[in-house]
A and B are shown apart, each in its own frame.
Chain A
Amino acid sequence: MLRKTLWVARVVFVNQLKSLWRAHEPRKPHRSPSFLLLVAQCAIALLLVINFTLAVRGRLGNLAENWLSLRPPEGELLSLAGDILSALLTTYLLTHYFKQERLVAVTPDFEFLLYQPLQPKELYAGIVIGLYAYFMVTFLPWWFIALVYTVPWLGFTVFYFFAYMMLADPALFTASSIARRSGHSSTVLSLAIAYIATGIVHSAVTTILDGWPRISPLLTYPVKGPYILALALCESVGYAGILILMASAVSTALLVIYTVGGSLNISDFTTSGEAYEVRLRQALSKSLKRGVLTDWPSTATAVRKVVLEFTVYNPRAVLRRYLPLLLSLITVGYVLRYVLSSYGPRLLSAGIFDYMAVLAYLLAPTVLGGFVGELLSNDLKYLWVIKVYLIDLDHFVKPLLIKFVIVYFAVSSAITGFLASYKLNPLIMLAPIVASPAIVLSVFTTICLSLVLAKRARYRGPSEDIYRQGITPALDPVKQLLLALVMGSGLITAAVTALIAELVDLGILTYWTTSVAASVSVGTSCFLIKFLSKPLAVFLAKTDLHF
C-alpha cells in the first residue's frame, strides 16, 4: 500500500515541478495551482514578518504567552494584525470545507492516476505527500534567507508550519467527506458557523471592555497555535528536532488519511478540466451584466473599448485593485514608521526590510508575469483578428501601450505611496510620474518580447486548454531568456523609480525641480507613446503569427 502511495507521490511531485516552467498564468475563473501557492506564500510571509518583528525585539521568550494572551499589551498593532490574519484564515478554513461539496482536482499531468488500480486513500495520500514535497522545494529560498540571517529556526518553522497546513487540508477534507456521506454536512457547517459567531462575540465583548481591538483566541488559535508550537519547538530541539517534526507531520497526515480514508470515494476526485468547466459555468452565470454592445461609433473607438475596457486590466478593475493596494501600503508604511521609531536600529540590523524585499520579490514577478500573461492570453491571443480585419494597426497599438502603462504606473505609485507614508514625504509620490518615460519604454519592450514569445510558443489552443491538456512544456531556454528580458526591463524601471524617490527623499530633487521633471516626463511619455506606436505597429504587421 505504501509503495503505491509513494509512486503516486513521485508522479505528483515531478509533474508539479514541471509546472514551474510554464509560460503564462491563466487567470480567473481558472486560477492555477501556482497562483494559489503564491497567495499562500504571501500570507505566510506576512505572518513571518509580524513574528520576526516581535522576535527580534527580544520578546521571543514571551511570544507564545503574548499571542495566546487575551490581553495583549496596549498598542500592539503588529499582534493585532497577526490576530486578524489568523482569524481570517481560521474562518476561511472552517467555512470553506463544509459549505459546499469539495472535490480533489487532479491536473491533466497526473490525471491518469484516476484510472489506475489504486485505492482512493492511496491516491489521496500520494497526492498529499507529492504536493508537500513540491511545496518544500519551492519554499527552499525562505530557508536560505533565514540561514543568512543566522536565525535558521525561522526557516524551519516555515517548513513545519507548511507541514501543519498540509496536514490540516486532508484532515478537513476527509472530515467534510465523512460529514457529507453521513448526511451531516449542514449540521457541521452550522457548528462551524456557531463557533465562528462565538469567536466574534467574544472578540466584540473584550474589545468593548478593553477599549482596544481584540480578537478572540477561539478565532486565532487554530492557525497561530501550531505556529507558536513550531517556533517554540524549533528553538528548543534544534535541527534534528525539526526534521523529526516534519517527518511526524507527514506520518500523521498519512495516518489520518489511512484511518479515515475508507470513507473516501473515487467520486471525491475530479479532473482540473472538469473543475474548470464547473467554475466557468458559475462565472458565466454571473457575467455579462452589461448590455450587448453592437453600436461602435468608429474603428478607433471599437478597438479602444475592447482593448481597454473588456479585458482583465480595464481601468475600472485597475482602480478597484489600485485603491485598496495604495491604502494598505500607505497604512503599512505608517505602521512601520511607528514601529521603527521605537525599535528602529534593532529591526534594521535584524533584516526586517530584507523580508519586505522578499515580499517585493514575490510581487514583482507576479505583476510582470501578469502583464505577459494578459498580453498572451487576452490581447495577443486573437491577434489574427486584428491583423486580418483591422486596416490601421495604430488603432490597436496605442490603447495597448496606454493600458499597460496605466497598470505599471498604478503598481509603481502604490509602492511609492508606501515609501511616501513611511518617510512622511508626499513628494515621493511623484517619482513614478518622473519615471514614466522609463515605464513606457519598459511596456514597449514587454509587448515586443511577448510577441516574440507568442511566436515561440506556437500555441494555438485557448489559454484554458492548459487545464485540459496539461502543463508539460519542454524547458525552452529561449523562452526563459525572453521572460528574463521582460523581468529585466521591469526591474530597471523599478530601479529608476527608486532612484528618483531616493533623490527626492535626500532633498536633491526639490519641490520645484520634481514638479518640473514630472511635467517634462508626462510630455515625454505622451510623445514616446505616439512615437513608439508606429514601429510597434510595423513590428506587429511583420511578425509571423502562428496562432
Chain B
Amino acid sequence: MSELEPLLSKNIDAKYGILIAKDLVKRFGDVVAVDGLSIDVSQGEVYCLVGPNGAGKTTTLRMIVGLLRPDRGSVVIDGYDVWTNRCEALMRVSYVPDYPNLPGYLTPLEFLYYVAALRGFKKFEVEESIRYYVDVLNMSDETKKPIRALSRGGLQKTAIAASLVVKPKIVVMDEPLTNIEIDTQVTFKREVLRLAKESSISFLISSHMLPLIEGVCSRVGIINKGKLILEGTMDSVLRAAGEGAKFEDVYMKVLGKSVEEDTMGS
C-alpha cells in the first residue's frame, strides 16, 4: 500500500475543474452514504469512479446532477452551483442513470428529440447528431418502437444517446454499459475518447467494468464507505502499484484484499 500512499485522497486543487464537488455529505437516516467526498473533473477528462456495491457512487452522481440534495458540501459545474444556480449549472451537464426510467409511450427517436427540446434545441440543431448517435449506438432497428418495448440494453442506449445529443460540457454516467452488447461497448469507448479529445467534453463514469475503466479513463477515483480513498491518473496509479500491475491489483490492494485471496475465496 505504501507505494500508493501519494495517490491517496487529499484536498484537491479544484480551481480549473469543469466539475468541482466539495466535501459532499449525504445521510439516509442513520446511514452515511457519502462522507465528505470531493471530486474535480477537468475539461476533456474522463474520470472513473469505482468502488464496491454500496460505496456511495450512485448517491454521489445523483448529488452532482441535482437529483439528491447534499446534507453538506457543494457542486459547481463550469462555475455555477447546482443548487443556487440550478439552470446555468444543469445546462452544462447530462446524465445516464443506472436504471433509466424513460417515458414508455414515446419512441427512442421521439425521446431524443424531446430531450433536445427540453434543453431548448430546435430540430435542425440536433438532427444530424441524433442520426449519428442512433447509428453509432446500433439503435436503428429500435427507434420506432415504443420505449416500453425495449430491452434494458435498449433503454440504456437511448439514455446514453440522449446524454450526448444535448451538447453538454460534462456527461455523468452511472454504469452505462451494463446489458449493452459487446460491439456497442467498443464503439461507445471510442466515442467517449473522441468526444473528450476533439470536443473537450468531460465524462464522470461510475462502473464496475474493468475494460471500460482501463480503456477510457484518464483519471480514476476509488470510493469506499462514502469516502474517496484513492485518486490519480490511470498511468500514475498503475505505475505506483509496480511494474506490470493491472488496475484490479490496485483496486484489491486499496481495499485491503489480495487478488490471490479473492480468487481462492471464490
User: Which residues of chain B (94-112) have a CB below 8 Å from chain A?
Assistant: 94-95, 97-99, 101-107, 109-110
A387 to B109, CA, bound (A): 20
A267 and B109 CA atoms in complex are apart in Å by 39
Q: Is the CB of B99 within 8 A of A294?
A: no
Do B104 and A462 touch across chains, with their CB atoms under 8 A apart? yes
A388 to B87, CA, bound (A): 10
Q: Collect the chain A residues with CB atoms within 8 Å of residue B99's CB.
A: 460-461, 547
User: Restricting to B54-102, which residues have a CB under 8 Å from any CB of A?
Assistant: 62, 65-69, 86-87, 90-91, 93-95, 97-99, 101-102
Instruction: Give min CB distance, B198 to chain A, whole Å.
Output: 24
A278 → chain B closest CB, angstroms: 13
The answer, among B66, B68, B109, B115, for a CB contact under 8 Å with A385, is B115
B151 to chain A, nearest CB (A): 12
B251 adjacent to chain A (CB < 8 Å): no
Q: Which of A157-165, A345-353, A389-397, A421-429 lines the interface with chain B? A: A389-397
Contacting A306 at CB < 8 Å: which of B65, B66, B68, B106?
Answer: B106
Cβ A392 vs Cβ B68 within 8 A: no
Alpha-carbon distance between A30 and B105 when the two chains are bound, in angstroms: 14
- Whether B62 and A545, one on each chain, are in contact in the complex, defined by CB atoms closer than 8 angstroms, is yes
Which among B37-45, B141-149, B210-218, B227-235 touches the partner chain?
B141-149
Q: Determine whether B118 belongs to the interface, using a CB cutoff of 8 Å to chain A.
A: yes
CA–CA, A402 and B50, complex, Å? 44
Question: Please, which residues of chain B bring their CB within 8 A of the CB of A542?
Answer: 69
B67–A310 CB distance below 8 A: no
Q: Check if A469 is an interface residue, CB within 8 A of chain B.
A: no
Q: Does the CB pair B90–A391 fall under 8 Å?
A: yes
CB-based contact B119/A294 at 8 Å: no
* B114 on the A face (CB < 8 A): yes
Interface residues of A (CB under 8 A from B): 280, 284, 287-288, 292-296, 298-299, 301-303, 306, 310-311, 378, 381-382, 384-392, 460-462, 464, 541-542, 544-547
- With A and B bound together, what is the CA distance between A391 and B117 in angstroms? 11
Residues of A near B149 (CB, < 8 A) are 280, 284
**B6 interface residue, CB < 8 Å from A?**
no
Known contacts being A292-B109, A310-B103, is A299 close to B118, with CB within 8 Å? yes
Q: B148 contacts A280, CB within 8 Å?
A: yes
Q: Which residues of chain B have C-beta atoms less than 8 A from A544's C-beta?
A: 67-69
B101 touches A462 (CB 8 A): yes
Q: B120: CB under 8 A from chain A?
A: yes
Interface of chain A, main secondary structure: loop
Number of interface residues of B (CB under 8 A): 41
CB contacts (< 8 Å) of A541 on chain B: these are: 66, 86
Inter-subunit contact B117/A296 (CB<8 Å): yes
A selection of 8 A-B contacts at a CB cut-off of 8 Å is A288-B145, A293-B110, A299-B120, A302-B114, A378-B105, A385-B162, A389-B166, A391-B119
Interface presence of B123 (CB below 8 A): yes
Contact B101 A388 (CB under 8 A): no
Say how far B105's CB is from chain A's closest CB, in angstroms: 5
A306 in contact with B114 given A292-B144, A382-B102, A544-B67 (CB within 8 Å) = yes
| Residues of B with C-beta under 8 A to A310 | 103, 105-106
Let me know if B101 and A382 touch, CB within 8 A: yes
How far does the alpha carbon of A546 sit from the alpha carbon of B68 in the complex, in Å? 8
Smallest CB–CB gap between B153 and chain A, Å? 14
B residues in contact with A391, CB < 8 Å = 87, 90-91, 118-120
Q: Which of chain B's residues have a CB closer than 8 A to the CB of A378?
A: 103, 105
Q: Which residue of A is nearest B144, CB measured?
A: A292
Q: B204-229: contact bitstring with A at CB < 8 Å (1 yes, 0 no)?
A: 00000000000000000000000000
Residue in chain B with minimal CB distance to A298? B117
Interchain CB contact under 8 A, B146 and A284:
yes
Residues of chain B at the chain A interface (Cβ within 8 Å): 62, 65-69, 86-87, 90-91, 93-95, 97-99, 101-107, 109-110, 113-115, 117-120, 123, 143-146, 148-149, 162, 166
Closest to A543 in B: B69
Cβ distance B83 to chain A, nearest Cβ, rounded Å: 8
A91 to B99, CA, bound (A): 44
The answer to whether A296 and B113 touch (CB under 8 A), given A385-B103, A389-B119, is: yes
Chain B residues within 8 Å of A461, by CB: 99
Q: Are A303 and B118 in contact (CB under 8 A)?
A: yes
**Whole-angstrom distance between the Cβ of B168 and the nearest chain A Cβ:** 10
- Within the complex, which residue of A293, A298, A387 is in contact with B113, where a contact is CB–CB below 8 Å? A293
**What CA separation (Å) do A382 and B119 show in the bound complex?**
16
Task: State whether A460 touches B106 (Cβ < 8 A).
Answer: no
Question: Which B residue's beta carbon lies closest to that of A545?
Answer: B67
**B120 — nearest CB in chain A belongs to which residue?**
A299
- Contacting pair A294 B113 (CB below 8 A): yes
Determine if A388 and B106 form an interchain contact, defined as CB atoms under 8 angstroms apart: no
Task: Out of B67, B91, B98, B148, name the residue touching A387 (CB < 8 Å).
Answer: B67
| Interface pair B123/A296, CB less than 8 Å apart | yes
Given the complex, which residues of B lie within 8 Å of A294, measured CB to CB? 109-110, 113, 123
List the A residue with the shortest CB-CB distance to B108.
A292
Give the distance in Å from the alpha carbon of A311 to the alpha carbon of B68 in the complex.
Answer: 26
> Contact at A390–B118, with CB atoms within 8 Å?
yes
Chain B hits for A546, CB < 8 A? 68
Closest to B149 in A: A284
B113 CB, nearest partner CB in chain A, Å: 4
Chain A residue numbers with a CB within 8 Å of B101 are: 381-382, 384, 460, 462, 547
Q: A288-B107, A288-B146 are in contact. Are A388 and B93 (CB under 8 A)?
A: yes
Cβ of B35 to closest chain A Cβ, rounded Å:
17
Q: Which of A288, A388, A460, A547 contacts B94 (CB 8 A)?
A: A388
Contacts of B87 in A (CB 8 A): 391-392
- Once the chains bind, are A296 and B114 in contact (CB under 8 Å)? yes
- Given the known inter-chain contacts A384-B95, A389-B119, please indicate yes or no for A292 contacting B69, CB distance below 8 A: no
